[in-house]
Every structure is written in structure tokens, then in C-alpha cells.
Amino acid sequence: MTQPDPIPTAATAATAAARPGVAAGPADVIHNIGYRAYDGPRLGRGYARMSLYSQSLRGAYGLGRSAKSKVLPMILLAAMCVPALIIVAVTIFTDRTSLPLQYTRYAVVTQAVITLFLASQAPQSVSRDLRFKTTPLYFSRPIEVVDYVAAKFAALASALFLLTVLPLLILYVGALLGKLDFTDQTAGFAKALVSVILLSLLFAGIGLVIAAVTPRRGFGVAAIITLFVITYGAVSALQGVASTQEKWDVIGWVGLFSPITLIDGLQTWFLGATSAFPHAAGPPDVAAGCAYLLVVAGIIAGSFSLLVRRYRKAGLS
Amino acid sequence: MTTTTAPPAARPAAGPALYHPTVARLTYRALLGRRRALLLLGLPALLLVIVVAVRTLSGQDDGTAEDMLRSFALSPMVPLIGVIAGTGAIGPEIDDGSIIYLLAKPIRRSTIIITKLLVAMGVTVTFSAVPTLLAGFVLNGNGQNIAVSYAISTAVASVAYASVFLLLGVITRHAVVAGLVYALVWETVIGNLVPGAKTLSVQQWALAVGAKAAHGDLVHSAVSLTTGVVLLVVVTGAATWYAARRLSTLKPVGDE
């Protein structure tokens, strides 16, 4: 408490010098005017982490941000849901006994929309904190690097999960309303649920790692889209060639090299989905099936630890 | 800047220059900076790696070569390089407000746009047409002239994409997303579902030009050569003109 009062001391010293008869001693008083430290309950680390999570999740859909920022995520959400509504309508009005599109196939077909959402929201979530150097402010709160990364990762994965699960719910509810077979539909829906959870985690991890190393927002967007489109383009071109050469094994193995085909291969092998690869040639054997699982798990875990490493450094500057 | 040492006399009397070397140098430096250059080099490198893999997998085959060049080089690679180079030539400067220092110099804004456009075109053509030509030779040794045909197509497409994406970089802050939506959603997804959409696709116009160079009828386009050339010229010219026009009335704003 000695720090804030050099000015009064100097002032009294000056007045003391001006009036030589008065003693300097008794004027040097620090008055207690009733300031108190905060002694109420502290919400702590868990609360800070939850706040960061919910803010980031809301931010991914533009909630709590400007009206302009809501446009793109909402359009993308609509673009995900409208085809599902159309499919349901067609199914009900033509009295089909099954949905024309499998639940597990939906995310594969709409991958362009999912990629656009990821590319626009991952940099939004982390790039500006890095660019404007606000990360040290977060770490001056009672959260650690792991908390920040976990909150951002979970928020983006949840946002992607919402984006992918909503059309599935529409399909499922629509199918039940259309009196399609309950067990078939529930089994299909449950499988797709598992696969979109994995897809959300995988995409969020890749997107965040790229966004965290590109502080320029626009460049982060381009880098994420480029990665997804180019790997998918390369994989499907190679699969096309392998298909004309009738090398089915190659088709299955090549799928390891792009995010969406990883999910496709994984759900084909472990969840019994029909693959979107040429000739529905999923992973050819047990080794390939396990490779898909290992690669997906490896990328998710690897991206998390890369993010932690990145923020160990960025949190200091 | 030369204009600062010799003020108004330095401007040539024969009308405004279209190319300003200093602006060009700055743009080159912005485009080929560390990370962008990595991305720009990475795409052609990946193309060559894949092409070598395909050659070893399937041997020399004209159909495969045409398929690979169309579905990987012309379709996702060229538009992506166009987006990176076209928007990257001007977008970041507008984004962080530093364009104001360039606009404050006594240089015509149309000169700035045309210089940046020429640089963006140069970079896009270099990074897309040259690797495509190489890829064509690796795939089937230029059989049926496919390598040359696709190199021409990619070069033509690069020029059009560079001007369109430069315009996007001037008019919107979300140029990258808008450009990618056009290149990937419109040209690939909608172009495959709605036949009419192919008439409005840079890719098809470029194919129409390239197809003339190919022997045989392996390479074909959804539009005729005349339509392709006319639309290419119109789009490139209109985009450049409108970009210059928008830059004259640009109000720089800060980041969101």
C-alpha cells in the first residue's frame, strides 16, 4: 500500500518546504477510505473453460457477433438441412420403403458444405486471438493452455456436430413419420451418429491446427479449403485410375489420404456402411480397416497436442 | 517511387502507363512471401507426385492422362492457384488498410489494378500451366498432343481466373470464400447437375480453347470455341474494368 502515495508525500513535502514552520511528520497519512479486496466466491478454472467453450460455440454460428457474421454459417446450416427435407418429402410422397440416401452417406455427399463451414469458422475461432495478440489475456485468467485448446477444440467440434447431425435428425424423424421400418432406421441413424462424431472431431482438429498457424484470417480460410479439396481431388483421381485398372485393393488403401475418405473407409469397415468409393470398394482387409481407425485417432490426438504446443509459445508473446 | 524525385514531369505525356514496376515488385513480394509460396509450390508439386504415381500404376494411357489432367489439374488446382494469387495480390492490403499508402501515391488506380493483374496472371500461369505441361509429358509423353492442349487450357483459365478473383478481392472482404464457392461449388457441383451452368464456367471456355490444340477428340468442351473465346475476353475485360472502377471509390476500413 505504499506504492500509490508518492504524490501526496511529494505534495506535502513541497508545502512543508514552502511553510518552514510546520513539521512534515503528521501530514504523511494514508487514509483508509474503505477499498476492499474481492472476497466473494471465485468461479475458477472450470467456469472459465465453460465460458470460453460456450462463447466459441455461439461464435461459430455468429450468435453474439454482428449480423454480417451470422449470414454465412446460417446459409451453410440451411444448405445442409434443405436436401434432407427434400429427401424426406420425396420419400413420403412416393411411398418408398427406404430413404433414397443412407444416413451414413449424407455427410459424404454434403462434404463441400461442411468444409466451407469449417474453413470459415476455424480461423474465426482462433486466428484473431493470435493476430491481435490477445492470447496472453486469456492466460492471465485461471485457465491453462490445455483448457484453452480443449475449449476451442470442443466448441468447433460441437458446432460441426450440430451442422452434421441436424439433417440426420430431419431424415430420421421424417422416416419415422413416413412409417418406415423403425429398427432399420434407428440402426442407420445410430451408425451415422457415431460417424459424424468422429468426422466432427477429425475436421475440427485439422481445421484448428491450420488456423492456429495462420494468423491472417483470409489465408487460413484458403489453406483449409485447399487442403480438403486438393486431398479429396487427388484421392478420387487416383481411385478413378485404380478403378479402371481394376485394382480394388489400391482404391481402399488410397482412401487413407483425405479426411472425408478416411471417415468413409472407417464407417464402411466398422459400421457396415456402403462405401462411396468407386465400386463401393472400402478397406480391403483387417489391416486396412485398422489403419483407418489408427490414422483417424492419430490425427485427432496429434492435432490436439500440436495445438497445445503452439499455444505454449503463443501464450507468452 | 520515381515520381517523388521528379514530380509532375515524370508522367509520360503519351497517356497513363499500364505497368508500374514498383507496384509490380511489391505485389510479387506479397504473393511469393513465405507461406503463400509454400502453398503455390505445394499444389504443382503434389500434382507431379500424383502423376508419377498414376504413371507407375497404370502405364502410358491417353484416356487416363486426359482424365487426370481434367479432374485434378484443370478443375481443383487451377482455380485454387487463381484464388490464392488473384485475391492475394490485393486482398490483404485492403484488409489491413495498408492499400491507403499505395493509393496516396500519384499513380492512376487503373494502373495499380492492371499491374497487380499482370503480376497475378504471371504467377498463376507459371504455377499452373508449366506443371500441367510437365504432368502431361510424364503421363503419356504428349500423346494426341494432350499435354500441350491442357497447358493451353490452364494458361487461358489462369488469365480469366486471375482477373475475376482480383475483382472479388477488391469488392468483398470475403473474397477467398466467394472465389472458392464459385470455383468449387458452381463449376464442379452445379456444373455436373445443371447442364446450362456449364456455359457459364471458365473451365469449359478454357477447355474449348485447349481442345483445338489436341489431336483426336478425347478433349472436348461443353461450349463452342467462339462462345468460349468471346466470353473469356468479355469476362476478363469487364472484371478488370470494374475492379479499377471500384478501387477508385474504395473506402478502406479496419478489421472486423
Question: Does the pLDDT of residue A12 top 60, yes or no?
Answer: no
B 149-208 → A contacts, CB under 8 A: 174-177, 180-181, 184-185, 189
pLDDT tens readout for residues A130-140: 888 888 888 88
Minimal Cα distance from B169: which residue of A?
A218
Name the residue with cell 487460413.
A220
pLDDT-based confidence at B54, cuts 50/70/90? confident
Buried/exposed A294-312: b ≥16 CB within 10 Å, e otherwise:
ebbeebbeebbebbbebbe
- Say which DSSP state A272 is in: -
Tell me the mean pLDDT in the region B72-88: 86
Alpha carbons A180 and A170: distance in angstroms, whole number: 14
B4 pLDDT tier (thresholds 50, 70, 90): very low
For the entire predicted model, the pTM comes to: 0.79
User: In this model, does residue A24 exceed pLDDT 60?
Assistant: no
The set of cell numbers assigned to A222 is 484458403
Dihedral (CA of A162, A164, A168, A170) sign: positive
Would you call B84 and A222 a contact, using CB atoms and an 8 Å cutoff?
yes
Task: Say yes or no to pLDDT of B206 above 70.
Answer: yes
CB B1 within 8 A of CB B112: no
| Contacts with B180 from chain A: Cβ below 8 Å | 116, 119, 221-222, 225, 229
Is B130 buried (19+), middle (13-18) or exposed (0-12) by CB count in 10 A?
middle
HSE-CB for B118 with a 13 A CA cutoff = 13
Task: Pick the range with the lowest mean pLDDT from A2-6, A66-70, A276-280, B113-117.
Answer: A2-6
Cβ distance B35 to A245 less than 8 Å, yes or no, reads: no
Q: Which residues contact A92 (CB under 8 A, 6 or more apart)?
A: A174, A177, A178
**Region class of B177: left (phi > 0), else alpha (psi between -120 and 50), else beta:** alpha
Yes or no, beta carbons of B67 and A247 under 8 Å apart: no
CB contact (8 A) between residue A237 and residue B184: no
Eight-state DSSP code of residue A26: G
Q: How confident is the model at residue B171 (pLDDT cuts 50, 70, 90)?
A: confident
Higher pLDDT pick, B89 / B180: B89
Q: Is the pLDDT of residue B1 over 50?
A: no
Q: What is the rounded average pLDDT of the residues B178-182?
A: 81
Query: In the 3-class helix/strand/coil scheme, how is A52-79 assigned residue by residue?
Result: HHHHHHHHHCCCCCCHHHHHHHHHHHHH
User: Residue B40 is placed in which grid cell?
Assistant: 503455390
pLDDT given at position B15: 56
Enumerate chain A positions whose Cβ falls within 8 A of a Cβ in B.
Answer: 66, 69, 72, 112, 116, 119-120, 128, 214, 216, 218-219, 221-223, 225-226, 229-230, 233-234, 236-238, 240-242, 244-245, 247, 250
Residue A17, pLDDT score: 47
What confidence tier does A243 reach under pLDDT thresholds 50, 70, 90? confident
Q: How many helices (H) and strands (E) in chain B?
A: 13, 0
Q: Name which residue leads in pLDDT, B35 or A222.
A: A222
pLDDT grade for A217, boundaries at 50, 70 and 90: confident
Which pLDDT value is given to residue A6? Answer: 44
Q: What pLDDT score does A56 carry?
A: 95
User: What tens digit of pLDDT does each residue of A255-306 get?
Assistant: 999 999 999 999 999 998 888 888 888 888 899 999 999 999 999 999 999 9
Give the amino acid at B106.
Answer: P
Q: pLDDT-derived band of residue A15, with 50, 70 and 90 as boundaries?
A: very low
Question: Residues A60-117: pLDDT tens digits?
Answer: 999 988 898 899 899 999 999 999 999 999 999 998 888 888 899 999 989 989 998 9
Q: Which of A66, A218, A237 sits opposite B72 (nearest CB)?
A: A237
C-alpha cell read off for A302: 496429434
Under 8 Å between Cβ of B41 and B120: no
Which candidate from B58, B80, B91 shows the least CB-CB separation from A218?
B91
Inter-chain residue contact A237 with B63, CB threshold 8 Å: no
CA distance A134 to B25: 33
Are the beta carbons of B72 and A233 separated by less than 8 Å?
yes
What pLDDT is attached to residue B12?
46
At A165 the pLDDT is 96
Lowest mean per-residue pLDDT among A179-183, A238-242, A266-270, B205-209? A238-242
With CA atoms as reference, the chain A residue closest to B188 would be A112
Which member of A128, A238, A245 has the closest CB to residue B53? A238
- To the nearest whole Å, the CA of B145 is away from the closest chain A CA by 20
Burial letters B55-82, b for 16+ CB under 10 A, else e: beebeebeebbbbbbbbbbbbbbbbbbb
Terminus-to-terminus CA distance in chain A, angstroms?
30
Q: What is the pLDDT of residue A82?
A: 94
Report the pLDDT value the prediction gives residue B253, as an integer from 0 to 100: 57
The Cα B96–Cα A157 span in angstroms is 30
Question: A303 and A205 in contact (C-beta within 8 Å)?
Answer: yes
Asked whether the predicted pLDDT for residue A193 surpasses 50, the reply is yes
Q: Is B220:B86 a contact under the CB 8 Å cutoff?
A: no
Residue A20 has pLDDT above 70, yes or no: no
pLDDT at A115: 92
> What does the pLDDT average to over A178-203?
94
CB neighbours of residue B106 within 10 Å: 11
Residue at grid coordinates 479499377 = B244
